[in-house]
Amino acid sequence: MIGGIILAGGQGRRMGGLMKALLPIGGQFMIEHVRDNMLPLCGSVTAVVASEDQAKLLTGLRLPCLIDTAPGQGPLAALHTAFEYNCYSTLWVSACDMPFVSNKAAVLLQHQMEKSGSLAAVPEVNGQLHPLHAVYRAECLEQVERCLQEGDYSMKGFLKRINYTRVPKEKFEAAGISRSFVDNINTPEQYEEARRRKEV
């Protein structure tokens, strides 16, 4: 059994400051789509948010929250909070603004990580790594802490420090998994497009 972590503490600057987790799409909030995809695979699903106020906004969604210990420092700092309070050997991490997340993709990632003996498995789609829909071993905490202590808050910097497996798009395509699982919503235009796709 693995743990599910949803990173939901972003400031949504390109969305006019709206909390993207609570944007409605296909009859649910965006974060609910992520939660519902994680629940069949994960022993528990927890959101990492930036403040008590954000946590209150998620009340009633069957989603326990952790308050980011370093809000505003980006996803790596939120990941640190998740790892610190984690009780699982493996975490499936997703951003809250990825309404097409796939537990089938997560299973494939976990398999590739275990097969390679690496500390993480990260999708590589269209030449781009997607560390915010990836699986990580709990042992990554040490390197996350080292990055933050040295002032490197980038996910790229963190990945350079660990032995991780790149999982190319062909692996997902061969398993019948749409590449849309890595799509995230940053702008109003992307949001409207995602809403249209969910309604089809």
pLDDT digits (tens, 9 = 90+) for 75-92: 999 999 999 999 999 999
pLDDT-derived band at 10 (thresholds 50, 70, 90) equals: confident
Query: How many CB atoms are closer than 10 A to CB 29?
Result: 22
pLDDT-derived band at 200 (thresholds 50, 70, 90) equals: low
Find, among 144, 100, 98, the residue nearest to 120 by Cα. Answer: 144
Q: Give bridge partners of residue 2 from the DSSP assignment.
A: 42
User: pLDDT tens digits for 157-183?
Assistant: 999 999 999 999 999 999 999 999 999
What pLDDT is attached to residue 62? Answer: 86
Query: How many CB atoms are closer than 10 A to CB 157?
Result: 15
Report the CATH number that the domain containing residue 118 is assigned in CATH.
3.90.550.10
**Residue 23 CB burial class (10 angstroms; 0-12, 13-18, ≥19):** buried
Q: Which two tokens stand for residue 61?
A: 């969604």
Which residue segment(s) compose the domain that 14 sits in? 2-199
**Domain count of the chain?**
1
Element holding 198 (H helix, E strand): helix 188-199
